[in-house]
Amino acid sequence: MAALSGEVSVALYSKMQASARKIIAKEEAIRATAKNADEAKQIDELFDELRRVADDFYIPNKLIKQELRVYKGIKYEISIYTKKIEWKFLDFESSKINSMELDDYSFVSFDFRIPDKFIGKGFGKHFVGETFNAFKNQIKGAKASWTEFSAYPEGSSLGYKQFWKAFDENGDKIKAVESTDFFKIMKNNNINKLDNEQIIIENETNTIDVLINK
């Protein structure tokens, strides 16, 4: 797959990366479908390959800074790379890595898995702030993928719930995106341009993909 990545266009490979990440987001549910050890092994191999696709082959991610920080009395480790940031809470029960990636078009995307006991403390907004402090004017836009998934509170991501609540009321995709916390945070960072063609509702996968331009 690494060889293949050098033969496809950046735009096409970016779509492949996005598709791989969507499948990875449903890893828990897919693994639960394994009926025996052979199928479990095949699923392991599948996700190994998907992670290779989801990684950025075009621009190497070199570690720039790694340090411990404290926010609202809670310690976490931040690792800043050339094209991504990873955050890890220093609690073995809450060790899933939160991350940000900057793609080849300088659009940021986030994968936050804030532990339930930390929800409401503003960590998502805080991590976004650290992203913009780290990459500043290098960021040209933002992208998000909101979906239904059992790992999220109430079975879907916050953006997914907020989008559908507004869309059911007004039927306007742009207004629905503008109602989300994600858009409001991006707007505070001067990323606020939306187009209907950049808001894609995928009913088959219960996913909403959004691009917001600077």
pLDDT at residue 57 greater than cutoff 80: no
pLDDT at residue 41 greater than cutoff 60: yes
Burial (Cβ within 10 Å: 0-12, 13-18, ≥19) of residue 29:
exposed
Q: 136-140, 193-197, 198-202: which has the minimum mean pLDDT?
A: 136-140
Report phi then psi at 211, rounded to 5.
-120, 130
Q: Which residue has the higher pLDDT, 135 or 9?
A: 135
In b/e form, how buried is each residue of 147-181, taking b as 16+ CB within 10 angstroms? bebeebeeebbbbbbbbeebbeeeeebeebbbbbe
Mean pLDDT of the chain: 84
What are 168-179's pLDDT values in tens digits?
999 999 999 999
- Among residues of the chain, what percentage have pLDDT more than 70? 86
Contacts of 38 (CB under 8 A, 6+ apart): none
What are 23-36's pLDDT values in tens digits?
877 877 788 888 88
Burial (Cβ within 10 Å: 0-12, 13-18, ≥19) of residue 140:
middle
What are 81-99's pLDDT values in tens digits?
988 999 999 876 656 789 9
